[in-house]
Chains A and B, each alone.
Chain A
Amino acid sequence: MSTNLRNILLFTIMGALLVAVGVIQSANVALAILNLCLISAIMTLGVNIQWGYAGLFNAGVMGFAALGGLAAVLVSFPPVPEAWAVGGSRAMLGAVTGALSIVLAILAFKMIPGGRRLRGWAAAAVALSGVVLMRFILDPAVEAIEAVEPARTGFLGGLGLPIVFSWIAGGAFAALAAWGIGKIALGLRSDYLAIATLGISEIIVYFLKNEDWLARGVKNVNGLPRPVPYEIELQKTLWVQELAAKLDFNVIELSSIIVKLSYAGLFIVVLAIVFWLSERALKSPWGRMMRAIRDNEIAASAMGKDVTWRHLQVFVLGSAVIGLAGAMLTTLDGIFTPASYQPLRFTFLIWVMVIVGGSGNNLGSILGGFAIWFFWIEAEPIGLAVIELLTSGMGEDHALRLHLIENAAHTRLATMGVVLLMVLRFSPRGLIPERGK
Chain B
Amino acid sequence: MTDILNALVLLANFVLVPGLTYGSQLALGALGVTMIYAVLRFSNFGHGETMSFGAMITILTTWWLQEKGITFGVLPTALLALPVGIIATVVMCLLFDRVVYRYYRREKANPVTYLIVSVGILFILSGLVRFIIGPQDRVFADGERFIMKARAFKQMTGLDQGLAIKTTQGVTVVTAIVIVALIFWFLNRTRTGKSMRAYSDNEDLALLSGINPAKVVAITWVITGALAAIAGTLYGLDKGYKPFTYLGLVLPIFASAIVGGVGNPLGAIAGGFVVAFSELLLTFAYKRVIAYLTPGDWIPEGLVQLLSTDYKLAVSFVILVIVLLVKPTGIFSGKTL
Q: Given the complex of chains A and B, what is the CA–CA distance between A120 and B326 in angstroms? A: 9
Q: Give residues 386-437 of A contacting B (CB, 8 Å).
A: 403-404, 406-407, 410-418, 420-421, 424-425
Partner of A413, one of B43, B130, B254, B318: B130
Per-residue interface assignment for chain B, residues 258 to 290, with 1 indicating a CB less than 8 Å from any chain A CB and 0 otherwise? 100000000000000000000000000000000
| Highest count of chain A CB atoms <10 Å: which of B103, B117, B317 | B317
- Contacts A120-B326, A206-B311 given; does A414 touch B43 at CB 8 Å: no
Number of interface residues of B (CB under 8 A): 45
Question: In the complex, which residues of chain A have a beta carbon less than 8 angstroms from the beta carbon of B318?
Answer: 199, 203
**Beta-carbon contact of B119 and A348 below 8 Å:** yes
Q: Give residues 221-279 of B contacting A (CB, 8 Å).
A: 244, 247, 251, 254-255, 258
Question: In the complex, which residues of chain A have a beta carbon less than 8 angstroms from the beta carbon of B258?
Answer: 192, 195
**Beta-carbon contact of B122 and A348 below 8 Å:** yes
Partner of A195, one of B103, B120, B126, B320: B320
Question: In the complex, which residues of chain B have a beta carbon less than 8 angstroms from the beta carbon of A407?
Answer: 130-132, 134
Q: Given the complex of chains A and B, what is the CA–CA distance between A416 and B122 in angstroms? A: 10
Per-residue interface assignment for chain A, residues 8 to 44, with 1 indicating a CB less than 8 Å from any chain B CB and 0 otherwise? 0000000000000000000000000000000000000
- Contacts A190-B111, A194-B115 given; does A199 touch B317 at CB 8 Å: yes
**Beta-carbon contact of B43 and A203 below 8 Å:** no
**Within the complex, what minimum Cβ distance (angstroms) separates B123 from chain A?**
3
Question: In the complex, which residues of chain B have a beta carbon less than 8 angstroms from the beta carbon of A184?
Answer: 325
Question: In the complex, which residues of chain A have a beta carbon less than 8 angstroms from the beta carbon of B324?
Answer: 185, 188, 192, 195-196
Q: Is A344 an interface residue (CB 8 A)?
A: yes
**Beta-carbon contact of A191 and B115 below 8 Å:** yes
**Beta-carbon contact of A57 and B130 below 8 Å:** no
**Beta-carbon contact of B126 and A344 below 8 Å:** yes
Q: Is B310 an interface residue (CB 8 A)?
A: yes
Q: Given the complex of chains A and B, what is the CA–CA distance between A184 and B318 in angstroms? A: 13
Question: In the complex, which residues of chain A have a beta carbon less than 8 angstroms from the beta carbon of B212?
Answer: none
Taking residues whose C-beta sits less than 8 angstroms from the other chain, chain A's interface range is: 35 or more
- Contacts A191-B42, A206-B314, A407-B134 given; does A420 touch B116 at CB 8 Å: yes
Chain A residue nearest in CB terms to B258: A195
- Contacts A191-B42, A424-B116, A424-B120 given; does A410 touch B130 at CB 8 Å: yes
Question: In the complex, which residues of chain B have a beta carbon less than 8 angstroms from the beta carbon of A185?
Answer: 321, 324-325
Q: Give residues 112-143 of B contacting A (CB, 8 Å).
A: 112-113, 115-117, 119-128, 130-132, 134-135
Question: In the complex, which residues of chain B have a beta carbon less than 8 angstroms from the beta carbon of A206?
Answer: 310-311, 313-314, 317
**Beta-carbon contact of B311 and A355 below 8 Å:** no
**Within the complex, what minimum Cβ distance (angstroms) separates B122 from chain A?**
7
Q: Is B18 an interface residue (CB 8 A)?
A: no
- Contacts A185-B324, A192-B324, A424-B116 given; does A414 touch B123 at CB 8 Å: yes
Question: In the complex, which residues of chain A have a beta carbon less than 8 angstroms from the beta carbon of B122?
Answer: 348, 417
Q: Given the complex of chains A and B, what is the CA–CA distance between A255 and B68 in angstroms? A: 59
Chain A residue nearest in CB terms to B324: A196
Q: Is A343 an interface residue (CB 8 A)?
A: yes
Question: In the complex, which residues of chain A have a beta carbon less than 8 angstroms from the beta carbon of B254?
Answer: 195, 199
Task: Count A-B contacts at CB 8 Å.
Answer: 131
- Contacts A195-B43, A196-B324, A420-B116 given; does A202 touch B121 at CB 8 Å: no
Q: Is B83 an interface residue (CB 8 A)?
A: no
- Contacts A410-B127, A413-B130, A416-B123 given; does A191 touch B112 at CB 8 Å: yes
Q: Is B2 an interface residue (CB 8 A)?
A: no
Q: Is B213 an interface residue (CB 8 A)?
A: no
**Within the complex, what minimum Cβ distance (angstroms) separates B260 from chain A?**
14
Q: Is B308 an interface residue (CB 8 A)?
A: yes
Q: Given the complex of chains A and B, what is the CA–CA distance between A421 and B113 in angstroms? A: 11
Question: In the complex, which residues of chain A have a beta carbon less than 8 angstroms from the beta carbon of B170?
Answer: none
Question: In the complex, which residues of chain B have a beta carbon less than 8 angstroms from the beta carbon of A417?
Answer: 120-125, 127
Chain B residue nearest in CB terms to A217: B310
Chain B residue nearest in CB terms to A379: B127
Question: In the complex, which residues of chain B have a beta carbon less than 8 angstroms from the beta carbon of A348?
Answer: 119, 122-123
Question: In the complex, which residues of chain B have a beta carbon less than 8 angstroms from the beta carbon of A260?
Answer: none
Question: In the complex, which residues of chain B have a beta carbon less than 8 angstroms from the beta carbon of A424?
Answer: 113, 116-117, 120
Question: In the complex, which residues of chain A have a beta carbon less than 8 angstroms from the beta carbon of B119?
Answer: 348, 351-352, 420
**Within the complex, what minimum Cβ distance (angstroms) separates A420 from chain B?**
4
Q: Is A198 an interface residue (CB 8 A)?
A: yes
Q: Is A210 an interface residue (CB 8 A)?
A: yes
**Within the complex, what minimum Cβ distance (angstroms) separates B121 from chain A?**
7
Q: Is A200 an interface residue (CB 8 A)?
A: yes
Q: Given the complex of chains A and B, what is the CA–CA distance between A185 and B254 in angstroms? A: 16
**Beta-carbon contact of B115 and A418 below 8 Å:** no
Q: Give residues 206-261 of A contacting B (CB, 8 Å).
A: 206-207, 209-210
Question: In the complex, which residues of chain A have a beta carbon less than 8 angstroms from the beta carbon of B134?
Answer: 403, 406-407
**Within the complex, what minimum Cβ distance (angstroms) separates A188 from chain B?**
6
Q: Is B100 an interface residue (CB 8 A)?
A: yes
**Within the complex, what minimum Cβ distance (angstroms) separates A192 from chain B?**
6
**Within the complex, what minimum Cβ distance (angstroms) separates A375 from chain B?**
12
- Contacts A343-B247, A348-B123 given; does A210 touch B311 at CB 8 Å: yes
Q: With A190-B112, A344-B123, A407-B134 given, can you name 14 additional A-B contacts, CB distance below 8 Å?
A: A190-B110, A191-B111, A192-B328, A195-B251, A196-B325, A199-B255, A202-B314, A209-B310, A355-B116, A413-B130, A418-B120, A420-B116, A421-B124, A424-B116
Could you tell me which A residues sit within 8 Å of B by CB distance?
Answer: 57, 120, 184-185, 188-192, 194-196, 198-200, 202-203, 206-207, 209-210, 342-344, 348, 351-352, 355, 403-404, 406-407, 410-418, 420-421, 424-425
25 sample A-B contacts, Cβ–Cβ < 8 Å, listed by A number: A188-B328, A189-B328, A192-B258, A192-B324, A194-B43, A194-B112, A195-B43, A195-B251, A196-B324, A202-B313, A206-B313, A209-B310, A351-B116, A352-B123, A355-B116, A406-B134, A407-B132, A410-B131, A413-B126, A413-B130, A415-B127, A417-B127, A420-B116, A421-B121, A424-B117
Q: 4 closest A-B pairs (Cβ-Cβ)?
A: A414-B127, A417-B123, A413-B127, A417-B124
Could you tell me which B residues sit within 8 Å of A by CB distance?
Answer: 42-43, 100, 103, 110-113, 115-117, 119-128, 130-132, 134-135, 244, 247, 251, 254-255, 258, 308, 310-311, 313-314, 317-318, 320-321, 324-326, 328
